[in-house]
Amino acid sequence: MKQYLLSVHMVEGQEPPKPESMQQMYADVDALNSRLQAEGAWVFAGGLHPATSATVVRLQDGKVLTTDGPFAETKEHLGGFWVIKAEDLDAALAWATEATKACQGPVEVRPFQEEPAK
């Protein structure tokens, strides 16, 4: 089976959901995670703190430089993700459909690169 990244994107400055909506999202995501695990599609998942908590580490002029804040200067940031196993893209998209319903946000689907033959 191939592995896919289902990434959830958050828009900076967007009105946060009401507490009761957040609780429903948490419950729906927990239910989805349980289904993924039960069906053998689960690899790993996690939610992320806001992009403002990020630290970027880079090599610049031969020296390591760290800076506060997200790498990309944008209003859309990665908010969480699932790594799943699926037979093909159609199966991954079916899981992404469930994920977007559960977290009430857009979900991007990307396949992992195949490991080169040794």
CA distance 84 to 8: 14
Condensed to tens digits (0 to 9), the pLDDT of residues 52-103 reads 888 999 999 999 999 887 777 777 788 899 999 999 999 999 999 999 999 9
All domains of the chain, ordered by start, with CATH?
2-111 (3.30.70.1060)
Which range is least confidently modeled, 11-20, 31-40, 52-61?
11-20
In the structure, what pLDDT confidence band is assigned to residue 105 with cuts at 50, 70 and 90? confident
In the structure, what pLDDT confidence band is assigned to residue 16 with cuts at 50, 70 and 90? confident
- Is the pLDDT at 15 greater than 90, yes or no? no
Q: Could you tell me the pTM of the whole model? A: 0.84
For the chain, list the strands marked E by DSSP. Answer: 2-11, 42-47, 55-60, 63-68, 76-86, 107-111
Q: What pLDDT score does 60 carry?
A: 93
